[in-house]
Amino acid sequence: TEREVTIADIANEKTSRDKQLSWGVIIDISEPFNYQNEDRWIVKLKVIDPTFNFKEYISNREIKFHKFVTIHLYADSIQSCPKVKNVGDIIRLRRFNFVLSDNGELI
């Protein structure tokens, strides 16, 4: 069974970054784009929750940037890209994998 975790839980615990279930608030949305003419489209979302935003403290020192987490959503065509209506919408993050980038950002 899946266990709900916060984004801060994911950031602080290295072993809990695969196939997670969490919720967040969308604070920014990119237009769909095609990266290097591949057969997939990408939409980037910036997401926060009550535990992972510019006001919160993250104990993991490897996390250098914690104002938001960047979510990459992949689709086979521009028509099948997710449609986010408004900044402030709630997103359910189910079975997501998170990684820590070289510059200390959780993506």
Residue the block writes with tokens 């510059």: 103
Bin 88: left if φ > 0, else alpha if -120 < ψ < 50, else beta. Answer: left
Q: What pLDDT digit, counting tens, does each position of 81-94 carry? A: 988 999 999 999 98
Dig out the tokens for 2 from the structure. Answer: 């899946």
Cβ partners under 8 Å of residue 89, min gap 6: 25, 26
Q: Which residues pair with 21 in a beta bridge?
A: 4, 94
Q: Is the pLDDT at 36 greater than 90, yes or no?
A: no
pTM tops 0.75: yes
Q: Provide mean pLDDT across the span 61-71.
A: 88
- Report which DSSP code applies to 32: P
Q: Is the pLDDT at 1 greater than 60, yes or no?
A: no
- Report which DSSP code applies to 27: E
